[in-house]
């Protein structure tokens, strides 16, 4: 499993559009044959124009994302809300406090459902999830923070062993079977990540209802800057989309979904 984890990170790097742009640019600058060099430079330019276009990347994201559920559709009482980790928080030793990152919508939505009485307990599933800082366990950091801020300790379960979505499902299954095999479960993760997550939990015979969070796209826009102006944020969105689609394909090959 560790080898698989490392390989997935390496593939992520080599499939990033930024990597392609830089490789083409360097080839154009280093190759001495002027005609071939110009071709690489033009290829780098057009690759940048394509992948930095917000409208184009959002078009592909719309196809992949699972649309969020309207809150009024949540009518059931759930025994567990499972929140999948993934860059939500880091622990800053200098400041002596957790630093919340871009994926925190999922844990905030889970806490909201908890306080409204829609869920009885929250399982936060996520270990280190990175090649460095292996002792920085995301689930433990989040549990400690929310207990300090009024959530009952017995209502938050930390699953801190998983480093990927397959392990999220595997280790959450152990908790559920031990605590309540017939539990009604709602699964929270990003709208972009939900397609793969739902399939993996289904493969593990865990029946879940879904509550996608932090969608990357909203209503259609047609203003000039959105349609035509390069945007560095679009490159980051491509990285996220490629990571998800690649993960789905790899997990399918591995038999995880």
- CA–chain centroid gap for 45, Å, is 29
> How many structural domains is the chain composed of?
2
Q: What are phi and psi of 209, to 5 degrees?
A: -100, 150
100 is a domain residue: yes
Query: Would you say the C-alpha torsion 185, 77, 122, 215 has a positive or negative sign?
Result: positive
The total number of residues shown for the chain amounts to 257
- 29 and 137 assigned to the same domain: no
Q: Out of 13-17, 87-91, 179-183, 220-224, pick the least confident.
A: 87-91
Q: What is the pLDDT of residue 129?
A: 52
Confidence of residue 80 (pLDDT cuts 50, 70, 90): very high
d(C-alpha 38, C-alpha 18), whole Å:
19
136 is a domain residue: yes
Q: Out of 6-10, 13-17, 40-44, 158-162, pick the least confident.
A: 6-10
pLDDT in tens, 199-212: 999 999 999 999 99
Confidence of residue 7 (pLDDT cuts 50, 70, 90): confident
The answer, yes or no, to whether residue 88 has pLDDT greater than 90, is no
d(C-alpha 191, C-alpha 61), whole Å:
10
pLDDT in tens, 46-77: 999 999 999 999 999 999 999 998 888 888 89
For residue 97, count CB atoms less than 10 angstroms from its CB and return exposed for 0-12, middle for 13-18, buried for 19 or more.
exposed
Pairing mode of beta strands 89-92, 97-100: antiparallel
Give me the helix-helix angle, 17-30 and 34-51, nearest 10°. Answer: 160
Confidence of residue 23 (pLDDT cuts 50, 70, 90): very high
224 is a domain residue: no
Nearest 10 degrees: Cα torsion 206, 242, 84, 178: 30
- 50 and 141 assigned to the same domain: no
H/E stretch holding 159 reads: strand 156-159
Q: Do the beta carbons of residue 246 and residue 14 sit within 8 Å?
A: no
pTM attached to this predicted model: 0.89
- 61 and 84 assigned to the same domain: no
Q: What is the pLDDT of residue 131?
A: 45
- 197 and 139 assigned to the same domain: yes
Helix (H, G, I), strand (E, B) or coil at 131: coil
Pairwise pLDDT comparison (92 vs 235), residue with the higher score: 235
- 99 and 177 assigned to the same domain: yes
The answer, yes or no, to whether residue 91 has pLDDT greater than 80, is no
pLDDT in tens, 219-229: 899 999 999 99
pLDDT in tens, 96-142: 788 888 889 999 999 999 999 999 999 999 987 554 456 678 999 99
- 190 and 84 assigned to the same domain: yes
**Residue 194's domain is classified under what CATH number?**
3.40.50.620
pLDDT in tens, 141-174: 999 999 998 899 999 999 999 989 999 999 999 9
Nearest to 84 by CA among 171, 174, 204, 202: 171
User: What is the average per-residue pLDDT within 174-182?
Assistant: 94
Which structural domain, as residue segments, surrounds residue 171? 74-210
Q: What is the pLDDT of residue 127?
A: 85
Q: Do the beta carbons of residue 23 and residue 202 sit within 8 Å?
A: no
Q: What is the pLDDT of residue 30?
A: 94
């Amino acid at each position: 499993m560790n080898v698989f984890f490392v390989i997935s990170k390496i593939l992520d790097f080599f499939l990033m559009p930024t990597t392609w742009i830089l490789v083409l640019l360097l080839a154009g600058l280093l190759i001495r044959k002027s005609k071939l060099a110009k071709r690489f430079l033009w290829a780098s330019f057009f690759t940048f124009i394509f992948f930095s276009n917000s409208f184009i990347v959002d078009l592909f994201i719309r196809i992949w994302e699972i649309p969020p559920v309207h809150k009024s559709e949540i009518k059931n009482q759930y025994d567990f809300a499972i929140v999948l980790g993934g860059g939500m928080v880091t622990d800053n030793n200098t400041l002596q406090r957790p630093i919340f990152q871009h994926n925190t919508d999922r844990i905030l939505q889970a806490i909201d459902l908890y306080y409204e009485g829609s869920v009885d307990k929250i399982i936060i599933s996520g270990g280190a999830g990175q090649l460095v800082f292996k002792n920085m366990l995301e689930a433990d950091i989040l549990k400690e923070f929310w207990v300090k801020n009024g959530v009952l300790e017995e209502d938050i379960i930390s699953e801190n062993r998983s480093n990927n979505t397959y392990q999220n499902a595997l280790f959450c299954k152990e908790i559920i079977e031990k605590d309540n095999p017939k539990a009604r479960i709602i699964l929270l993760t990003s709208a972009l990540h939900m397609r793969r997550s739902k399939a993996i939990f289904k493969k593990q015979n865990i029946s879940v209802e879904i509550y996608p969070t932090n969608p990357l796209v909203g209503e259609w826009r047609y203003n000039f800057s959105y349609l035509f102006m390069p945007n560095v944020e679009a490159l980051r969105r491509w990285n996220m989309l490629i990571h998800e689609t690649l993960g789905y394909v790899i997990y399918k090959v591995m038999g995880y979904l």
